[in-house]
């Protein structure tokens, strides 16, 4: 359930960023594709449509995604996508075959770069004069 919610939230965040975030929109420039995140058993799947510098997500599997990232199960997908060091978690998952990538691996790297624009920027804390 957490993984399903995480994928839904990811879709909402990307849709908002595609409307409001100039850096995110720049990453979408020239892209017209569908990609998918799912569990390997097929029980959980969500696909994301990138077109005209906008992102829309829909539940279920896509018919022919440009790339797909499959996680061994929902709990593992949630743990990986919410890990502190996501890059390390993805690399370990791929090595252990707990994560499978279908399609164009260069687009997976593009997607991982895209997600860094979804993290809210931390405000610089002002130091108080002592």
Whether the CA torsion 101, 107, 113, 115 is positive or negative: it is: negative
Q: What is the pLDDT, as a whole number, of residue 42?
A: 92
How confident is the prediction along the chain (130 residues), in pLDDT tens digits per residue?
A: 899 999 999 999 999 999 999 999 999 999 999 999 999 999 999 999 999 999 999 999 999 999 999 999 999 999 999 888 888 999 999 999 999 999 998 998 899 888 887 766 555 444 444 4
Distance CA 33, CA 83 (A): 27
The reported pTM is 0.84
What pLDDT sits at residue 126? 46
């Amino acid at each position: 359930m957490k993984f399903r919610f995480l994928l839904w939230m990811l879709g909402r965040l990307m849709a908002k960023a595609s409307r409001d975030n100039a850096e995110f929109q720049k990453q979408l420039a020239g892209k017209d594709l569908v990609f998918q995140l799912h569990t390997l058993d097929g029980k959980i799947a969500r696909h994301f449509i990138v077109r005209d510098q906008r992102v829309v997500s829909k539940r279920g599997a896509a018919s022919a995604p440009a790339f797909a990232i499959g996680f061994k199960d929902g709990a593992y997908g949630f743990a990986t996508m919410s890990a502190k060091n996501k890059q390390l978690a993805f690399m370990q998952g791929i090595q252990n075959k707990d994560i499978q990538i279908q399609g164009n691996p260069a687009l997976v790297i593009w997607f991982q770069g895209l997600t860094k624009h979804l993290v809210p920027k931390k405000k610089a804390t002002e130091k108080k004069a002592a």
